[in-house]
Structure 1
Amino acid sequence: MTVHFIGAGPGAADLLTVRAVRLLQTSPVCVYAGTYLDAEVLAHCPPGARLVDSQRLDLDQITAELQAAHAEGLDVARLCSGDPSLYSALAEQTRRLDRLGIGWDVTPGVPAYAAAAAVLGRELTVPEVAQSVVLTRVSAASTAMPQTESLGAFAATRATLVLHLAIRRTRELCSSLVADYGADCPVAVVANASQPSQVVLRGTLADMADQVEAAGLRQAAVIMVGEALRAEHFAESHLYGPRPRRS
């Protein structure tokens, strides 16, 4: 028996990997985050599969579901939104499974920021404009940020900034980033990327908070900040440049 942690991507069923689909089709139990997933994703599960929505379960309850499947010898597809390597609680879940002697593995998925960038049609690393991407979040009541990872420290680099789990604090964030990026710095917000309910907002640090509030966005959104979002005049990289001939 194995618990398969599967990156479900941004929610669209056709953005699952081939491996993810195969594991869904062969796992009698599926534990999934119902808040973020398109219902078509679950259509890959076999007939009669036990479907458990984890959105209202705590870690103890989720672990109990995995233990129950283990006791019956049933593989579990544990669907995580986006990619399991980012904000998926993978570390705390697998730590418990290790203590219980339950086997597990990980299948990657399309991360939310990659789906958002695709919707925008933008490369986040533009030559001589931005060559780094900072993936981060902000402090919340549930989990504090490490003291060494302040938003101000990241903003000082002027790298492309991608904020997860922060849409309810958009006004505060935009205000705090003006000092480093400037009020006219481009900002994009993509909610429910790749799903029918997808919302795309484009603006600047000066007006994005108003747009987010007008749209009523409260969850499942990524905030992107940086000059790479509008860069038109930039140097070409050496990746496809002419190469000297060898004699």
Structure 2
Amino acid sequence: MKVYFVGAGPGDPELITVKGRRLLEEAGVIIYAGSLVNPEILKYAPPGAKLYNSASLTLEEVLAIMQEAVARGEKVVRLHTGDPSLYGAIQEQMDALERLGIPYEIVPGVSSFAAAAATVRREFTLPGISQTLILTRRAGRTPVPEGESLPDLSRHRASLCLFLSSQDLAAATAELARGYGENTPAAIVYKASWPEEKVIHGTLGDIAARSREAGIDRTALLLVGDFLAGSYQRSCLYDPAFSHGYREAKASHG
């Protein structure tokens, strides 16, 4: 038996992958991030599965549960919100499992940044606007490396999604405005894909106040960039005048 790190998706129970759902249905032990994972997803767990909410557990306690379950021959699912590779704190778990000789596998999930883009019906990578997406967070108790502060990143003026910073939104938007400018479009997406999802549109100059008025102070993403509004160039990929390996350019009759 092994441990499976499974991305639960952004919240909607139907946005877990087919493989992730199958593993949940087969699991003997499920350790889930209770502060973030939609409990509705646990309906896929079999009746006899043992459920552990990791919100109140330490790394050592989580590892002990994994080790004991695998020793009993049980399949373990470690259920993380979104995709485990983003702010999932899974590297330390994987390294510990390797030291213990316990096999594991990672099953990717749909990240909340993808769900947020779907909610606002915009594409992060618009031709002529931005071909880069920055996923980041503001420094807090977990610092950010040199060169990754919000003022530094804002100089790129790329599309940006800010995680884990909604409680410091006024400070975060002020820092981002140094490079983007206060008039840059911004949006707050609260609990993307959940039933209680909310979207607030504005600019870097006013989105913090709008969010505060709506009572949003956690579980929200900040989207920033010109991809949220305005004109853009048509994609070359589907342009009749553009040739590629699967299609010849069509002559213009204009």
- Would you say same fold, with TM above 0.5? yes
Say whether the 8 Å CA contact 1:12–1:37 is kept in structure 2.
no
Q: What residue identity is the alignment partner of 1:234?
A: Y
Q: Following superposition of structure 1 onto structure 2, how do residues 7-156 of structure 1 map, counting pairs within 5 Å?
A: 7-141=7-141, 143-156=142-155
So what's the TM-score if we normalise by structure 1?
0.95
Displacement, 1:111?
A: 0.5
The answer to which of 87-96 and 147-156 deviates more is 147-156
Which residue pairs with 1:215 in the alignment?
Answer: 214
Which residue pairs with 2:224 in the alignment?
Answer: 225
Displacement, 1:100?
A: 0.8
Which residue pairs with 2:2 in the alignment?
Answer: 2
Deviations 1:168-206 (A, max 9, x none): 110001111222111111111111111112121111111
Displacement, 1:31?
A: 0.5
Unaligned runs of 5+ in 1: none
Displacement, 1:39?
A: 2.2
Q: Percent identity?
A: 41
Q: What residue identity is the alignment partner of 1:93?
A: Q
| Aligned-partner SS, 1:48 | coil
Displacement, 1:139?
A: 1.2
1:240 correspondence with 2:238: yes
Displacement, 1:38?
A: 2.1
Mapped partners of 1:126, 1:106: distance in 2 = 31
Q: What residue identity is the alignment partner of 2:4?
A: H
Say whether the 8 Å CA contact 1:80–1:88 is kept in structure 2.
yes
Which residue pairs with 2:172 in the alignment?
Answer: 173
Which residue pairs with 1:191 in the alignment?
Answer: 190
| Aligned-partner SS, 2:44 | coil
Mapped partners of 1:72, 1:148: distance in 2 = 47
Displacement, 1:218?
A: 2.8
The answer to which of 21-30 and 236-245 deviates more is 236-245
Q: What residue identity is the alignment partner of 1:174?
A: T
Q: What residue identity is the alignment partner of 2:235?
A: S
Mapped partners of 2:148, 2:239: distance in 1 = 37
Mapped partners of 1:121, 1:93: distance in 2 = 35
Q: What residue identity is the alignment partner of 1:236?
A: R
Say whether the 8 Å CA contact 1:162–1:222 is kept in structure 2.
yes
Displacement, 1:215?
A: 2.3
Displacement, 1:148?
A: 2.9
Mapped partners of 2:156, 2:147: distance in 1 = 14
TM superposition outliers: structure 1 runs of 4+ over 4 Å: none
Mapped partners of 2:122, 2:82: distance in 1 = 19
Mapped partners of 1:38, 1:60: distance in 2 = 24
Mapped partners of 2:209, 2:222: distance in 1 = 14
| Aligned-partner SS, 1:5 | strand
Displacement, 1:208?
A: 0.9
Deviations 1:207-238 (A, max 9, x none): 1111222222232211111011112x221121
Unaligned runs of 5+ in 2: 250-254
Deviations 1:60-116 (A, max 9, x none): 121121122122121111111000111101111101111111110000100010000
Q: In angstroms, what is the RMSD of aligned CA positions? A: 1.5
So what's the TM-score if we normalise by structure 2?
0.92
Aligned residues: 245
| Aligned-partner SS, 2:55 | coil
